[in-house]
Amino acid sequence: MNDIRLVTLENNKKTTIQVGNIRIGQDFVLIAGPCSVENEEHTLNIATAVKKAGANMLRGGAFKPRTSPYSFQGLGLKGLKILKKAQELTGMPIVSEVLDPRDVSWMCDYVDILQIGARNMQNFSLLKEVGKAERPVLLKRGMYSTISEWLSCAEYILKEGNSDVILCERGIRTFETYSRNTLDLSAVPAIKELSHLPIIVDPTHATGRVSLIPPMSLAAVVSRADGLIVEVHDNPEEALSDKDQALTPESFSEMADKIFRLRDFMKELN
Ligand code: PEP
Ligand code: MN
């Protein structure tokens, strides 16, 4: 294990993070929304639909880390303004990715949780900057990273003074090609053994396939993950990013019902 100090579990004292009316780490959190914010109409549609289905928070990328520089890069500030409108309309807190350390402080006016994407997990200047921000940080696991390296990155954020870090398992690269990545669900109990930080699961980027998202979401609930983050699009075929892995609002709603029933069952099973 790398040199981890601040994130280590001691006396079974778990961190809970209050965002809106949810205490992440204590209450199960369901975050849903589009991969990218594309325009106002679709964002507000999706926000309304996921809220109706029971989501607690809205996700949506305004700055997109794309493999190709020619792919849609996100709407930037315009996208954040749309997210703010969605927040005003639905009351849901906003989760959005920050790519650049220079954007951290002003982005805090628009988002409730700053997401650090898998590709930036070890961007140490970005980690130091969000460590100084007054917003919780959702730290995704790097696609080639060990649990120990991931916790060291959380350590960077805590060391700067921000103790509100939520970890997110989003699949790692293996030799398997059927799924986009391989969901390492054992990371959930492993993190809970090693750290006091909450951990949620992203079954969307972990599988990259619509058909695999509901079963892996339920499996994540059974693993005692503190929540899920899922991509939903009102017209997946036309989505500007990650169209193969977006659930429709209808299939998200069906899945959410099962998630809540299983969550309640797991509460009983102690
Ligand atoms: C995303 O959440 O849209 C995203 C880019 O995720 P990841 O960083 O896990 O690939
Ligand atoms: Mn995506």
What is the 120 CA–ligand 2 centroid distance (Å)? 14
Nearest Cα residue to 206 out of 237, 228, 233: 228
- From the CA of 119, give the closest atom in ligand 1: 8
How does residue 103 score in pLDDT terms, banded at 50, 70 and 90?
very high
pLDDT category at 93 given cuts 50, 70, 90 is very high
Q: pLDDT of 104-136, one tens digit each?
A: 999 999 999 999 999 999 999 999 999 999 999
How many A from CA of 58 to the centre of ligand 2? 13
Q: Cα separation of 43 and 46, whole Å?
A: 5
Q: How confident is the model at residue 70 (pLDDT cuts 50, 70, 90)?
A: very high
Confidence of residue 229 (pLDDT cuts 50, 70, 90): very high
User: Does 1 score more than 80 pLDDT?
Assistant: no
Instruction: Assign 2 a pLDDT band (cuts: 50, 70, 90).
Output: confident
CA distance 164 to 181: 27
Burial class (CB in 10 A: 0-12, 13-18, 19+), 178: exposed
Ligand 1 atom 1: residue of nearest CA: 35
pLDDT-above-70 percentage for the chain: 100
63 pLDDT band (50/70/90 cuts)? Answer: very high
Question: Please, which residues have CB less than 5 A from ligand 2, an ion?
Answer: 35, 242
pTM equals 0.98
- Report helix, strand or coil for 101: helix
Contacts of 89 by beta carbon, 8 Å cutoff, 6+ apart: 44, 47, 48
Helix H, strand E, coil C: the string for 2-32 is CCCCCCECCCCCCCCEEECCEEECCECEEEE
User: To the nearest whole percent, how much of the chain has pLDDT over 90?
Assistant: 99
Is residue 140 scored above 90 in pLDDT? yes
Mean pLDDT for the stretch of residues 77-84: 98
- The residue whose C-alpha atom lies closest to atom 6 belonging to ligand 1 is 117
DSSP state of 144: T
DSSP state of 118: G
Q: What is the pLDDT of residue 6?
A: 97
Q: Which atom of ligand 1 is nearest to the CA of 59?
A: 2
Cα–Cα distances in angstroms (integers) from residue 183 to residues 20, 48, 172, 267, in the given order: 29, 29, 6, 23
Nearest ligand (C-alpha, residue 138): 1
Quick one: pLDDT at residue 15? 98
**Contact at 8 Å (CB) between 56 and 37?**
no
Confidence of residue 84 (pLDDT cuts 50, 70, 90): very high
Return the ∠ at Cα 228 (arms to 181 and 14), rounded to 5°.
Answer: 110
Residues 172-180 have a mean pLDDT of 98
Kindly list the protein residues whose Cβ atom lies closer than 6 A to any atom of ligand 1.
35, 61, 65, 117-119, 140, 170, 202, 205
Which ligand 1 atom sits closest to the C-alpha of 117?
Answer: 8
From the CB of residue 70, how many other CB atoms can be counted at a distance below 10 Å? 7
Q: What pLDDT does 270 receive?
A: 78
> What would the two tokens of residue 108 be?
């805090």
